[in-house]
Structure 1
Amino acid sequence: MKRSIATVCLSGGLTEKLHACAEAGFDGVEVFEPDLVVAAQSPEEVRALADRLGLTLDLYQPFRDFEGVDPATLEDNLRRAEAKFALIRRLGMDLVLVCSNVATAVVDSDEVSAAQLRRLGELGARYGVRIAFEALAWGRFVDDYRRAWRIVELADHPNVGICLDSFHILSRGHDPAQIEEIPGEKIFFVQLADAPALSMDVLQWSRHHRLFPGEGSFDLATFVAHVLRTGYDGPLSLEVFNDVFRQTDVTRTAAHALRSLVWLEDAAALRLQDRTDLLRLPEAKAPTGFDFVEIRAEDTAAVETLLEQLGFTFRGRHRSKPVRLWSAGDARVVLNQEQARDRAPHLAAIGFDVDDPAATVDRAQQLMAPRVYRRTYASELPLQGVAAPDGTEIFLCDSTAGTDAPWVAEFEGGAEPGPSPTSPISPISRVDHVNMVQPWEDFDEAVLFYTSALGLDAETGVEVAGPHGLVRSQVMRSVEGAVRLPLNVAPAASSELAQHVAFACDDVAAVARSARAAGLRFLPVPANYYDDLAARYGLPDAVIADLRELDLLYERDAAGEFVHFYTRTEGDVFFEVVERRSRYDGYGAANAPVRLAAQSLGRGK
Structure 2
Amino acid sequence: MATVCLSGGLVEKLHACASAGFDGVEIMDADLVAAYESPEEIRTLCERLGLSIDMYQPFRDVEGVDEDTFADNLRRAEAKFDVMERLGTDLILLCSNAGTATIDDDDLAADQLGRLADLAAQRGIRIAYEALAWGRFVDDYRHAWRIVQRADRPNLGVCLDSFHILSRGHDPAAIEEIPGEKIFFLQLADAPALDMDVLQWSRHHRLFPGEGDFDLTGFLGHVLRAGYAGPLSLEVFNDTFRQTAVFRTAAHARRSLTWLADRTALAERRDAGRLLDAQHAHGVDFVEISGDDLHDLDQLLDQLGFAFRGRHRSKPVRLWTAGGARIILNEQLRLESPRLTGFGLTVDDAAQASRRAGSLGADPVYRRTYRDEVELRAVASPDGTEVYWNDDDPETGWVSEFEGGTAVAAFTGDIDHINLSWAWQDFDEAVLFMRSVVALDAEPVAEVPGPRGLVRSQVMRSPDRVVRLPMNLAPPTAPVPHRHIAVRVEDAVAVARAAHAKGLGFLPVPHNYYDDLQARFALDADLFETLQSLDLLYDRDAGGEFIHFYTPTHGGVFLEIVERRGGYDGYGAPNAPVRLSAQRQVSTWTDAHGSGTPAERT
1:508 aligns with 2:495: no
Q: Against the structure 1 CA distance between its residues 342 and 386, is the aligned structure 2 distance closer, same or farther, given a 3 Å change threshold?
A: closer
Q: Retained in 1: the 8 A contact 2:19–2:247?
A: yes
Whether the 8 Å contact between 1:496 and 1:600 is mirrored in structure 2 is no
| CA-CA distance at 1:263 after TM superposition | 0.6
Q: Is the 8 A contact 1:289 1:482 kept in 2?
A: yes
1:404 counterpart = 2:395:
yes
Secondary structure, aligned partner of 1:106:
coil
Q: Does 1:393 align with 2:389?
A: no
Structure-1-length-normalised TM-score: 0.95
SS at match of 1:197: coil
Report the Cα offset of residue 79 of structure 1: 1.1
Amino acid at match of 2:53: L
- Secondary structure in 2 matching 1:431: strand
* Aligned match of 2:21: 25
CA separation in 2, counterparts of 1:80 and 1:492? 42
The one of 382, 406, 416 aligned to 2:375? 382
Distance 2:336 2:362 in 1: 25
Q: Deviations over 1:37-56 (max 9, x none)?
A: 11111111111111111111
Query: Counterparts of 2:256 and 2:229 in 1: how far apart (Å)?
Result: 19
Corresponding residue SS for 1:465 = strand
Alpha-carbon distance in 2 for matches of 1:293, 1:216: 28
Match of 1:240 in 2: 236
Q: CA deviation at 1:342?
A: 4.6
1:324 aligns to what? 318
How many residues align? The count is 589
Q: 2:259, 2:360 within 8 Å by CA — same for their partners in 1?
A: yes
Alignment partner, residue 268 of structure 2: 272
2:550 paired with 1:566:
yes
Q: 1:372 aligns with which of 348, 365, 373?
A: 365
Moved more, 153-162 or 105-114: 105-114
Q: Is residue 2:359 matched to residue 1:363?
A: no
Whole-Å separation in 2 of the counterparts to 1:577 and 1:238: 43
Give the Cα–Cα distance (whole angstroms) in 2 for the partners of residues 227 and 403 of structure 1.
46
- Tell me which residue corresponds to 1:482: 466
Q: Are the equivalent residues in 2 in contact too, given 1:317–1:413 (CA < 8 A)?
A: yes
Give the residue type in structure 1 aligned to 2:95: C
Task: Specify which of 259, 278, 286 is matched with residue 284 of structure 1.
Answer: 278
- The one of 99, 105, 109 equivalent to 2:105 is 109
1:46 aligns with 2:42: yes
Matching residue of 1:343: 336
Contact (CA 8 Å) 1:208, 1:242: kept in 2 or not? yes
Describe the SS at the equivalent of 2:425.
helix
| TM-superposition CA deviations, 1:474-506 (whole Å, max 9, x none) | 100012221000111122232262110000011
Determine which of 585, 588, 594 is the counterpart of 2:569: 585
User: In the alignment, which residue of structure 2 is the partner of 1:313?
Assistant: 307
Aligned-partner Cα distance in 2 for 1:403–1:296 = 20
Quote the RMSD (CA, aligned, Å): 1.3
Separation of aligned partners in 1, 2:313 and 2:215? 49
1:59 and 2:67 correspond: no
Q: How does 1:114-263 map to 2 (within 5 A)?
A: 114-263=110-259
Partner of 2:596: none
2:76 equivalent to 1:80: yes
Q: 1:342 to 1:104 in 2, by over 3 A?
A: closer
Measured in 2, the distance between the counterparts of 1:164 and 1:357 equals 39
Contact 2:133 2:140 survives alignment (8 Å): yes
Q: For the residues of structure 2 that align with 1:413 and 1:458, how far apart are their CA atoms?
A: 41
Q: Tell me by how many angstroms 1:541 deviates.
A: 3.5
Amino acid in the other structure paired with 1:476: M
1:436 aligns with 2:410: no
Instruction: Give the residue type in structure 1 aligned to 2:174.
Output: Q
* Preserved contact between residue 288 and residue 354 of structure 1 (Cα < 8 Å): yes
How far 1:403 moved relative to its partner? Answer: 6.8
Which stretch of the first structure deviates more once superposed, 131-140 or 104-113?
104-113
Query: What's the CA shift for 1:520?
Result: 0.7
| CA contact 1:292–1:334 (8 Å) conserved in 2 | yes
Q: SS at the partner of 2:103? A: coil
Distance in 2 of aligned mates of 1:306 and 1:487:
24
Partner of 2:288: 294
1:267 is displaced (CA, Å) by 0.9
**1:545: Cα distance to partner?**
1.7
Indicate how the Cα distance of structure 1 residues 118 and 291 shifts in structure 2: closer, same or farther if over 3 A, else same. Answer: same
CA distance in 1, matches of 2:370, 2:527: 54
1:230 to partner: Cα distance: 2.2
Moved over 6 A (4+): none
C-alpha displacement at 1:542, in angstroms?
A: 3.1
Structure 1 counterpart of 2:594: none
Counterpart AA for 2:398: W
Alpha-carbon distance between aligned partners in 1 of 2:59 and 2:480, rounded to the nearest angstrom:
47
Q: Give the counterpart letter for 1:330 in structure 2.
A: G
Match of 2:535 in 1: 551
- Deviation string, structure 1 residues 366-393 (Cα, Å, up to 9, x no partner): 1000011211111111111111111111
Deviation (angstroms), 1:126: 1.3
On the 8 A contact 2:56/2:89 being kept in 1, the answer is: yes
C-alpha displacement of 1:181: 1.3
**What do the CA deviations read for 1:203-238 (whole angstroms, capped 9, x no partner)?**
111111110001111111121121122222111100
CA contact (8 A) 2:290 2:335 kept: no
Identify if the C-alpha distance between structure 1 residues 496 and 251 changes in structure 2 by more than 3 Å, giving closer, same or farther. closer
User: SS state of the match for residue 586, structure 2?
Assistant: coil
How far is the alpha carbon of 1:285 from its aligned partner? 2.9
In 2: Cα distance, 1:496 partner to 1:281 partner: 34
Call closer, same or farther: CA 1:65–1:393 in 2, change over 3 Å.
Answer: same
Deviations 1:504-551 (A, max 9, x none): 011111111000001112110111111111112222333222111000
Question: Could you tell me whether the CA contact under 8 Å between 2:190 and 2:213 is conserved in 1?
Answer: yes
For residue 501 of structure 2, the aligned residue among 517, 523, 528 is: 517
**Are the equivalent residues in 1 in contact too, given 2:424–2:473 (CA < 8 A)?**
yes
Partners in 1 of 2:420 and 2:559 — Cα distance?
A: 12
After superposition, the C-alpha distances for 1:529-584 in whole angstroms (9 at most, x for unaligned) are 11111112222333222111000011111221111000001111100000111111
Whether the aligned pair in 1 keeps the contact of 2:187 and 2:232 (CA below 8 Å) is yes
Shift of 1:271: 2.4
Structure 1 residues 564, 257: CA separation in 2 closer, same or farther (over 3 Å shift)? same
Note the C-alpha offset of 1:127.
1.7
Q: Identify the residue that residue 405 of structure 2 maps to in structure 1.
A: 414
Alignment of 1:85-104 (within 5 A): 85-104=81-100
**Distance apart, 1:177 and its partner CA:** 1.4
CA contact (8 A) 1:523 1:603 kept: no
Tell which deviates more after alignment, 489-498 or 216-225: 489-498
Counterpart residue identity of residue 294, structure 1 = E
Question: Contact (CA 8 Å) 1:281, 1:366: kept in 2 or not?
Answer: yes
